[in-house]
Chains A and B, each alone.
Chain A
Amino acid sequence: MIELRGISRVYEVGDRPVHALRDVDLGIPSGDYVAVMGPSGSGKSTLLNILGCLDRPTSGTYTLDGEDVTGLDESAISKIRRHKIGFVFQSFHLIPRLTAAANIELPMVFAGVERTERTRRVRKAIEAMGLEDRADHRPAQLSAGQMQRVAIGRSIVMGPSILLADEPTGNLDTATGEEVVQLLERMNEGGLTLIVVTHDPRIGERAARRILLRDGVIAEDRVKEKRR
């Protein structure tokens, strides 16, 4: 359950303040499927970074599962990211020297998950992503679609409640993009809250809810009736 109240984010660019988000109120119930759309510079990424606790709002409060995370210190914020939030990026952000399996394992290594449990969860994620024959390959040996599947596998191994995807199909062709979106949707069907920032109107059409940002303000918030 996500609650944003009066969220603003102001950057100082040179001596001029830039308002990336202005007084945004937004509630996203658990298990929702939200597409965040809008032109470049509309504040999509800023919204996603705030939702993912990578960035802090200049003002306003962010309540996640009943806990106000706006005032938490850095190590508490790290724990929130570790346990509640999974990220999928446009450019995958895999570590090139690690194999697919090791990339998926990475969050658990730093979270101190015990070794046998790690192995078990990695195997499960690899099966879920259909990467059984690619587990020992390094990113350079994988196709873009495979890399994004590894990244999705990595985003879910810690069992988060929210999956944040920033242009997940931006570097993929249509067919593999479609596969990746289906994978993300399957995670959503499993109960994860899925929030996708995208330019792609087709994904916008598929999402249960579409939020359109313009100049840091929610210009449109439309729920698709027939899916939910």
Chain B
Amino acid sequence: MSAADLLKFAAGSFRGHRLRTALSLVGVGIGVAAVVLLTSLGEGARLYVSGEFLTLGSNLLIVVPGKTETTGAFPVFGGVPRDLTLDDALALERGIPAVRKMAPIIIGTARARVEGKSREITVAGTTAEFLGVRNLTLRSGQYLPDGDVGRGQRVCVIGAKVESELFEGRNPLGETMRVGGTRYRVIGVMAPRGESIGFDMDEMIHVPVSQSMKMFNRSGLFRIFLEVRFPRQMEHAERRIIEILKERHGGVEDVTVLTQDAVLTAFNRILRILTAALGGIAAVSLSVAGIGIMNVMLVAVTERTSEVGLLKALGVTRGQILGVFLVEAAMMSTLGGLLGLGVGFAGLAVARDVLPDFPLQPPVWAVYGGLAVAIGVGVVFGAIPARRASGLDPVLALRKRRR
């Protein structure tokens, strides 16, 4: 018997119970669609986070106060880690020749006031180099001036949203605004950028780092950004940062150095596991669908007992009968799986309209894996009914009246 004949014969049998077959198909379809959609969410989250961190650039090191690695041991001296100071930042810049750019940053919130209007904004205290380190662009004016980081002028660069909300279409350049009680002259406006690692750049104003220290009465830095010339210098630079800061902090290693690679690797790992878990949950629904298939096939075997008896009388072998019923189950689950892929991708298209910024995309393994699991479920759950059919006694099977 040729494969084409087997498929044709198996396909013909669905004609008898269309509704039941359709319902089983839907069961499998929902399972596969769930695999596609849920893994797309997980994968989308991963791509989104990766995209965020990719904007950091591969030459960037970020120094964060405190030892945040979860290696287990607490710092020997315990307690609060020492602040990262501006002097630490300058020492790093001087002490590591590979560093091309350095930008310290302090983040805080303050009330900004322009004439009658005021609002809470995020204030980033930093230096001129921040623009290059974070690949930011200006829309108009200029960025913070170069010069002695210890003595900044009272100037600020404002985000696009700050401009539109506080200046309402007026040209803000040269205007003054009050931030936290101090007057600042606006010297530049940032190009719209949107959210980046947790901060809405458009709602931020940038002031010289020394100004922000005064504003927040704080000497500890939030981060130090360092950019090396070439990616191959990263490892060396990272080692040197820790050496220098350890020396400056009395022998205690109380900082963490983040690199794009390390952060990306960690996030990728976490989110891949999440995606796999979501896929696994969806796969459970596929096995439920498999039970539906088994039910349909068991009913089919019962209904077609006399047909099985006839086939046996015609000299159809046990193996062929097994094959017919297995192929029927597999066809049902394959069709259901394809239907599920269709529904899943249609669902994704809709979701992309709703969430245009979120990169919804199923991982390749989930698409093929979902379909493969669906087919496998059909074969596995079809096996019991198929075995029952092939093991029927021909005399008894023939005697059973057709309904």
Contacts and interface: CB of A to CB of B under 8 A. Distances in A.
Interface stretch (B145-153, B312-320, B331-339, B355-363): B312-320
Contacts of A30: none
Interface stretch (B8-16, B34-42, B74-82): B8-16
Interface stretch (B95-103, B244-252, B394-402): B394-402
Interface in B1-20: 1-2, 5, 9, 12-13, 15-16
Contacts of B316: 78, 82, 107, 110
B398 A81 contact: no
B306 interface: yes
A75 B313 CA distance: 12
B311 interface: yes
Interface residues of A, number: 29
A131 B316 CA distance: 25
Nearest to A160: B315
A172 interface: no
A54 B394 contact: yes
B276 interface: no
A51 interface: no
B310 interface: yes
A124 interface: no
Contacts, number: 71
Interface in A43-93: 49, 52, 54-55, 74-75, 78-83, 85, 87, 89, 91, 93
**Chain B contact patch, size range:** 20 to 34
Given A55-B395, A93-B306, A107 B314 contact: yes
B315 to A, nearest CB: 2
Nearest to A84: B315
A81 to B, nearest CB: 4
A112 interface: yes
B150 to A, nearest CB: 90
A158 interface: yes
Interface in B193-212: none
B395 A49 contact: yes
B315 A110 contact: yes
B313 A54 contact: yes
B12 to A, nearest CB: 5
Contacts of A81: 312-315
B83 interface: no
Interface of B: 1-2, 5, 9, 12-13, 15-16, 306-307, 309-320, 394-395, 398, 401-402
